[in-house]
Chains A and B, each alone.
Chain A
Amino acid sequence: MEGLMVGLTSMTWQMLVMMMIGGTLIFLAVKKNYEPTLLLPIGFGAILANIPYTSVLDQVEGGHVVEGALSIFFRVGILTEIFPLLIFVAIGAMIDFSPLFRNPKLLLFGAAAQFGIFFTMILATLLGFDIKEAASIGVIGSADGPTSIYVATRFAPNLLGPISVAAYSYMALVPIIQPPIIKMLTTKEERMMRMDGGGNDRKISRATLVLFPILVTILTGLFAPTAVALIGFLMFGNLVRECGVLNKLSLAAQNELASLVTLLLGITIASTMTADRFLQVSTLFIIGLGLIAFMFDTAGGVLFAKLLNFFLKKKVNPMIGAAGISAFPMSSRVIHTMGLKEDPTNYLLMHAVSANVSGQIGSVLAGGLILALVH
């Protein structure tokens, strides 16, 4: 009978708090529909990982280590970086680059809106994080969950739990985070600015769409070999989509692969969310810094658009700059809706989508560059 009570008697208040955090994540996923594909597995995983002597984590019994399922998944899927890379294949298969081809100058916003990553990294160093931890925290601002996980796995596996939770939570909160920042930095006239069609209905040849992922991979690899895994897997997924002869594989990558790996990724990440690791002051800092990263991404994009307008004949609506983050398609929808609110006949969606797609390239590239530059 005593053996059956060991779990109950070993329960600590910290474990209870972690279970409540897990419950909150499940609530946000189910009730508020905030990134449910990831927050639900993370939430449930947090509960699993905080049951005393849980068999999902490695435990020492009689001097021997008994391997737990989530610990095995962590070693096989996260430490080897396999799960995030498979997610990149799935994301690549979901991305349609053709809006970007119709308006390639919007690519620059994919760079400008990564400003939050670097600003936050600098801020994190002032709070006492070492350079690798600070870089991993900054990458929350890529607004790209898999990139955040990939960089954190390499640089700060001890912070993987809070970084993942922050990254995915703020991605879901883009419609709440971005509008006030955009409004603060733009005038009503700027928000009402119209943009020309930019050849929005122009068709792009298949050869172009097939060549683009291959050439981007080669070019990135030549200058930043450490970024090849990130950008290469993303572009491989896109090549599968665009080649036109692997439609079944492309659909499988977009649906089954994405769903299955996201599920495993979420529940496995949660294995790092044990009370002793998660309930730290650093977690609060990470949650706060993640929000700052998203805010400064938005500001970077908007301010860059305003700067660019000094040199452009055909002006860009500065709100489009904010869509240069990776959160797709939330960010472009936010910009489109804000544009419609100011002027119900001003359709900014296609331009915002172009900037948003460039943000997907920019975020992965930023992650790769961080890996290359931080030693």
Chain B
Amino acid sequence: MTNEIVSVYSQAIDISFKGMTALFLFMFIFFFLIVAIDKLLPHEEEPKK
């Protein structure tokens, strides 16, 4: 393996770690967002006329 490939490989591992972490963080944020807005704005049946 050339030095260049090793360098790109290490870069890819670094990006993968950051990418997966960021993905999970975003999903956690969206999870709390969904729970929060669903609690704040629950579905209410329209009163029958």
Contacts and interface: CB of A to CB of B under 8 A. Distances in A.
Contact of A107 (B15, B27, B43): B27
A187 interface: no
A366 B16 contact: no
A114 B44 contact: no
A108 interface: yes
Interface in A338-373: 358, 361-362, 365-366, 369-370, 373
Contact of A134 (B12, B27, B43): B12
Interface string A171-198: 0000000000000000000000000000
A369 B29 contact: no
Nearest to A203: B43
A369 B19 CA distance: 6
Contacts of A362: 23, 27
A349 B23 CA distance: 25
Nearest to B23: A111
B33 A128 contact: no
Given A131-B11, A373-B18, A211 B23 contact: no
Given A115-B20, A118-B20, A131-B12, A215 B33 contact: yes
B16 A119 contact: yes
Contact of A373 (B1, B5, B19): B19
Contacts of B26: 111, 219-220, 223, 365
Main secondary structure of the interface of A (DSSP, over half): helix
A216 interface: yes
Interface string A194-226: 000000001111011001100110011001100
A149 to B, nearest CB: 19
A112 B19 CA distance: 11
B27 A108 contact: yes
B40 to A, nearest CB: 8
A109 B26 CA distance: 12
Given A101-B38, A131-B11, 8 more contacts: A111-B27, A114-B20, A115-B20, A122-B9, A208-B37, A208-B38, A219-B26, A223-B22
8 contacts: A104-B35, A105-B31, A107-B30, A111-B27, A126-B1, A208-B38, A216-B33, A365-B23
Interface of A: 100-101, 104-105, 107-108, 110-112, 114-115, 117-119, 121-122, 124-126, 128-131, 134-135, 202-205, 207-208, 211-212, 215-216, 219-220, 223-224, 358, 361-362, 365-366, 369-370, 373-374
In the complex, the 3 A-B pairs of residues with the closest C-beta atoms, listed nearest first: A118-B16, A111-B23, A203-B43
